[in-house]
Amino acid sequence: MMSPDKIPLVLSPEVAAARAARRPIVALETTVVTHGLPAPENLDTARAVEAEIRAEGAVPATVAVLDGAIRIGLEEEELARFAALPDIRKLSRADLAVAVAMGWPGSTTVAATMICARLAGIEVFATGGIGGVHRGAETSFDISADLRELAQTPVTVVASGAKAILDLPKTLEVLETLGVPVIAFGQDAFPAFWARDSGLRAPLRLDESRAVARVHRLRREMGLPGGQLVANPIPAEEEIPLAILDPHIESALAEAAVEGITAKAVTPFLLSRIVAATGGASLRANIALLRSNARLAARISSDLVALDQRRPPAPVPC
């Protein structure tokens, strides 16, 4: 049984005010800041993503574990201080409570951010790419906890699909097994992060943020647990086609195998190798898609607020 009063959950003044006023809020993860993007672009991007959400009339809530508390919403200086700490752990479902109890600083993955968002009553979350089934999972068993979290925690996650460092067909199969709606936004193809088209068709497609919000509400009313994955393709001007990235992905994977990288270290290792291999290009694309996902998430969150405010029409007097 969840007892929110016993959980050290600290909302920033801005997020607390937004909650009280029932304004739209969008959660943001911090593993992308601490383990996904290089400095100094990581902090610049975090700020730019928050600005996109504000520009759409919503409030950003950046999530992290700091000083023994789950923090929902960080001031700019707090985030900079947090990101500069030594040994920030990458926290997923398994580690979140341990880090809070032990006072370890930690950034939240997609799975952990969904858990924290739900605790804070936030229903929409924007990120870049979700974790998934790694290539070779049939022997390594490396499947991100993000997938099961999508199956059990009622948060809509806006991401540009998943990176092709993963096994995308297997990732889609597992999401289907788990009953997670995978909704391509505005196109038929499942996007592959830097590329708009993974070559795979997404199981579902919606073209409007309002439709995503309606489905989110309907799932709750039907008592269906879990969230939904909204796969938003990178803006066309910024995309890097798969053919250009594939060789870099292959060599990053080979390097990970040679160096014996496993478990939590796999995703950050591959990400850093690909940024290095593509120079600025993949980083610019990464920033563009994060901003674009933040805008879409803000619109979905605003649409949810609008749905909740819609009262049934007054009865016709006779």
Which residue's CB is nearer to ligand PSU, number 56 or number 146?
146
Instruction: Answer whether 203's CB lies under 8 Å from 182's CB.
Output: yes
The piece of 97-105, 142-150, 272-280, 301-309 that touches ligand PSU (CB under 6 A) is 142-150
* 197 binding ligand PSU? (CB under 6 A): no
| Residue 157, strand partner residues | 125, 229
Name the active-site residue from 50, 163, 239, 264: 163
* Residues in 235-294 that interact with ligand PSU by CB under 6 A: 264, 267, 271
Distance CA 283, CA 267 (A): 16
Any catalytic annotation for residue 163? yes
Of Mn ion, ligand PSU, none, which one sits near residue 32, judging by CB under 5 to 8 A according to partner kind?
Answer: ligand PSU
Handedness of CA 88, 15, 293, 78 (dihedral sign): negative
Mutual angle of helices 41-55 and 76-84, in 10-degree steps: 150
* 45 binding ligand PSU? (CB under 6 A): no
Instruction: Answer whether 44's CB lies under 8 Å from 31's CB.
Output: no
The piece of 26-34, 57-65, 182-190, 219-227 that touches ligand PSU (CB under 6 A) is 26-34
Distance CA 303, CA 318 (A): 34
Q: What number of CA atoms fall less than 13 Å from residue 142's CA on the CB side?
A: 16
Q: Which residue is nearest to ligand PSU (CB)?
A: 36
* Residues in 266-285 that interact with Mn ion by CB under 5 A: none
**What residues are labeled active site?**
29, 163
Chain contacts with ligand PSU (rule: CB under 6 A): 29, 31-32, 36, 92, 109-110, 128-129, 131, 144-146, 163, 193, 264, 267, 271
